[in-house]
Amino acid sequence: MEKNDIISPENLVYKKPTLMNEVPMHYCPGCSHGVVHKLVAEVIEDMGMEEKSVGVSPVGCAVFAYRYIDVDWQEAAHGRAPAVATAVKRLWPDRLVFTYQGDGDLGCIGTAETIHALNRGENITIIFINNAIYGMTGGQMAPTTLVGQKTATCPYGRDPQLHGYPLKMPEIAALLEGTCFVTRQSVNTVGHIAKAKKAIRKAFEANMAGKGSCLVEITSTCNSGWKMPPAKANEWMEEHMFPYYPQGDLKDTTKE
């Protein structure tokens, strides 16, 4: 058997998505962002939307997302990605438009833009990375930081009497008339990665069919901010984050 026989298409087990640029990522080792980037690139490629996709990158750890996935991008001011995506989609209705945001960008400074874009039923997908901390700026408390979780700005743990309660954005989004698909997934195991990819594809397809807004939360780790090795961070997420942020679909009207 020749080498070319072995590497023939029918024997392909895995390949790097062609939309992923040959650029070293700036993310910390063990970060969930790289996996989610790969899933987004794979789904766009699978849908044949390479030339008709527009991403909107945030302010936060994923601020350089446009370096890694070879589609058109816009960079938004802090928290304003859904507003920018709204404009792009309305001007270019045949484009696949998505935002990629963290918990600070989406759930703090961008709460108003997020809720109103979803409530209007804009045909965009918001991909929401929830790692319960501000990873880029030094590990401060985020809107999604768990009660009792220690960060640089709540070193004794989040106290709801002082800091309020962790924000559950998908639960809020599921109540809005404009949303058609709201889900919470993760990428800590092979099974979870497969489910997350299916969720992203369902959201993108719903947008292209004009069915309304979609929110895909990816419950994630920040081993640097949490000060844990990557494997330990995954265990901590399963033990502490999953009970408060349960995995699965919260709303799905895409078949109606």
Indicate the domain borders of the chain: 26-252
Strand 179-186 and strand 248-252: pairing? antiparallel
Taking only the tens place, the pLDDT of each residue in 85-127 is 999 999 999 999 999 999 999 999 999 999 999 999 999 999 9
Taking only the tens place, the pLDDT of each residue in 178-209 is 999 999 999 999 999 999 999 999 999 999 99
CATH 3.40.50.970 fits 26-252, yes or no: yes
Asked if residue 55 lies in contact with residue 100, where contact means CB atoms within 8 angstroms, the answer is yes
Q: ∠31-40-115 over CA atoms, to 5°?
A: 90
Query: Taking the model in full, what pTM does it have?
Result: 0.95
Least confident of 3-12, 89-98, 144-153, 241-250: 3-12
Tell me the C-alpha distance between 175 and 173, whole Å. Answer: 5
72 by Cβ neighbours in 10 Å (0-12 / 13-18 / 19+) ranks as middle
The more confident residue out of 255 and 158 is 158
Tell me the C-alpha distance between 65 and 40, whole Å. Answer: 11
The mean pLDDT of 128-139, rounded to a whole number, is 94
Asked if residue 53 lies in contact with residue 74, where contact means CB atoms within 8 angstroms, the answer is no
Quote the distance between the C-alpha of residue 167 and its chain's center.
16
Tell me the C-alpha distance between 135 and 141, whole Å. Answer: 9
* E strand or H helix that includes residue 53: strand 53-57
Q: Note the pLDDT of residue 1.
A: 63
Task: Using alpha carbons, select from 170, 174, 173 the residue that is nearest to residue 184.
Answer: 170
3-state secondary structure of 32: coil
Task: Using alpha carbons, select from 141, 162, 158 the residue that is nearest to residue 225.
Answer: 141
